[in-house]
């Protein structure tokens, strides 16, 4: 049994830095360019693995150099990639990312092979986490299988969109940012549709949790950890991976959220997504 199974996307991130993000129709001179491993599935898998979890990744890549490179990145962090499919006629996904001097970013994602992902089988896991850069019906299929095996399910509803009851009724924890929360109708609506806990990431404002138990709803706040941000790309994925790892380890939600908040904060202090993800020791040091 794995601690965490991640069902999600794999992308090659093409990252440009610039003094500021361009306005519509505007060209802005850039300063640097780099290519990094990315995609919410790979990101969250790496983040969970670096937090000490045993992780399997279900994803799809193209039969190309980018796909081979990204599989190797996952393997280097000890992630099981036996369920990462290789498609022969569609390239590996890409994300076009611009980061400004204030560490804010804008992102355009080209799905590529991610759009062809099919969940044929799901390994046993304590926690199954998915996002929305893959076909929605495959997220539902994965969570149906997970619930049938007694796994806890976490949905990161990104990119944001309206979600059907068929999916939400299969979610134990939903982790949106503030924009994504608005698109799914708010925390109260999610709880009314079957979700047990809504964990809202708010950047420098911290994390707000709204959860229900025994017909009682409570809300509480986890303050942000103080760091000096360089690049916020992947910070939400660092949070989600760390949260999944700690819930799989048996932490209660409050302890897992605090740990994840520290992990997400540290991920903003290094450029890129996967290169920025901290390990368990670094997170523990920030929490002291």
- The string of pLDDT tens digits covering residues 186-203 is 999 999 999 999 999 999
Q: Give the count of domains, the chain.
A: 1
pTM for this entry: 0.93
DSSP codes joined into one string, 146-180: HHHTT-EEEE---S-----HHHHTT-SEE--BHHH
Which candidate, 250, 253, 237, 203, places its Cα nearest to that of 50?
A: 237
What is the spatial distance between Cα 151 and Cα 2, in angstroms, rounded to a whole number?
10
Identify the DSSP state of 105: E
- Residue 20 in any domain: the answer is no
- Report the catalytic residues: 237
Strands laid side by side in the 216-222 sheet: 80-87, 55-62, 2-7, 125-130, 152-155, 173-174, 197-201, 207-213, 216-222
Q: What angle do CA 182, 114, 157 make, to 5 degrees?
A: 15
**204: its two tokens:** 């420098």
- Residue 19 in any domain: the answer is no
- Residue 99 in any domain: the answer is no
- Residue 97 in any domain: the answer is no
203 burial via Cβ count (<10 Å: 0-12, 13-18, 19+): middle
Q: E strand or H helix at 74, and its extent?
A: helix 65-76
Say if residue 159 is preceded by a cis peptide, omega within 30 of 0.
yes
Q: E strand or H helix at 274, and its extent?
A: none
Q: Which of 44-48, 107-111, 272-276 has the lowest mean pLDDT?
A: 272-276
Residue 104 has pLDDT above 90, yes or no: no
What is the spatial distance between Cα 13 and Cα 273, in angstroms, rounded to a whole number?
8
Residue 272 has pLDDT above 90, yes or no: no
- Residue 15 in any domain: the answer is no
Which candidate, 51, 115, 26, places its Cα nearest to that of 256?
A: 51
Residue 53: CATH number of its domain: 3.40.1190.20
Q: How confident is the model at residue 115 (pLDDT cuts 50, 70, 90)?
A: very high
**248: its two tokens:** 């799989």
| pLDDT on residue 160 | 92
| pLDDT on residue 190 | 96
Q: For the chain, what is the mean pLDDT? A: 95
- Residue 102 in any domain: the answer is no
Which candidate, 233, 284, 232, 288, places its Cα nearest to that of 263?
A: 284
Rounded to an integer, the average pLDDT of 152-171 is: 96
Segments forming the whole domain that contains residue 277: 2-8+38-87+116-287
Q: Which of 25-29, 91-95, 229-233 has the lowest mean pLDDT?
A: 229-233
**166: its two tokens:** 């068929």
**57: its two tokens:** 């990744």
What is the spatial distance between Cα 240 and Cα 273, in angstroms, rounded to a whole number?
13
* Share of residues in the chain with pLDDT > 70 (%): 100
- Residue 27 in any domain: the answer is no
| pLDDT on residue 17 | 93
Give the model confidence (pLDDT) of 241-270 as tens digits. Answer: 999 999 999 999 999 999 999 999 999 999
| pLDDT on residue 239 | 98
Rounded to an integer, the average pLDDT of 81-96 is: 95
DSSP codes joined into one string, 7-33: E---EEEEEEE-SSPPPTT------EE
All residues at 6 or more sequence positions from 104 whose CB lies less than 8 Å from its CB, including other chains: 21, 232
Among all chains, which residue has been given the structure tokens 């368990």? 280
């Amino acid at each position: 049994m794995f601690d965490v199974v991640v069902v999600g996307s794999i992308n090659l991130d093409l990252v440009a830095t610039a003094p500021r993000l361009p306005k519509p129709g505007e060209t802005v001179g850039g300063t640097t360019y780099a290519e990094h491993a990315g995609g919410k599935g790979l990101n969250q898998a790496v983040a969970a693995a670096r937090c000490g979890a045993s992780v399997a990744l279900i994803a799809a890549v193209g039969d190309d150099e980018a796909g081979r490179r990204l599989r190797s990145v996952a393997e280097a962090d000890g992630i099981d990639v036996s369920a990462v499919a290789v498609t022969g006629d569609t390239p590996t996904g890409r994300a076009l990312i611009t980061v400004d001097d204030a560490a804010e970013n804008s992102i355009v994602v080209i799905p590529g092979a991610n759009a062809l992902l099919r969940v044929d089988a799901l390994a046993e896991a304590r926690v199954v986490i998915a996002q929305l850069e893959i076909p929605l019906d495959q997220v539902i299929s994965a969570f149906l299988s997970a619930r049938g095996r007694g796994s806890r399910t976490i949905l990161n509803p990104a990119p944001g969109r309206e979600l059907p009851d068929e999916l939400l009724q299969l979610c134990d924890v939903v982790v949106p940012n503030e924009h994504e929360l608005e698109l799914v109708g708010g925390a109260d609506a999610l709880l009314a549709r079957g979700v047990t806990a809504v964990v809202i990431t708010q950047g420098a404002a911290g994390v707000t949790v709204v959860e229900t138990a025994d017909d009682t709803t409570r809300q509480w706040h986890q303050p942000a950890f103080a760091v000096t941000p360089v690049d916020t790309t992947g910070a939400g994925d660092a949070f989600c991976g760390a949260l999944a790892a700690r819930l799989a380890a048996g932490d209660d939600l409050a302890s897992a959220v605090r740990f994840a908040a520290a992990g997400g904060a540290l991920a903003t202090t290094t450029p890129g997504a996967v290169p920025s993800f901290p390990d368990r020791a670094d997170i523990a040091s920030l929490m002291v």
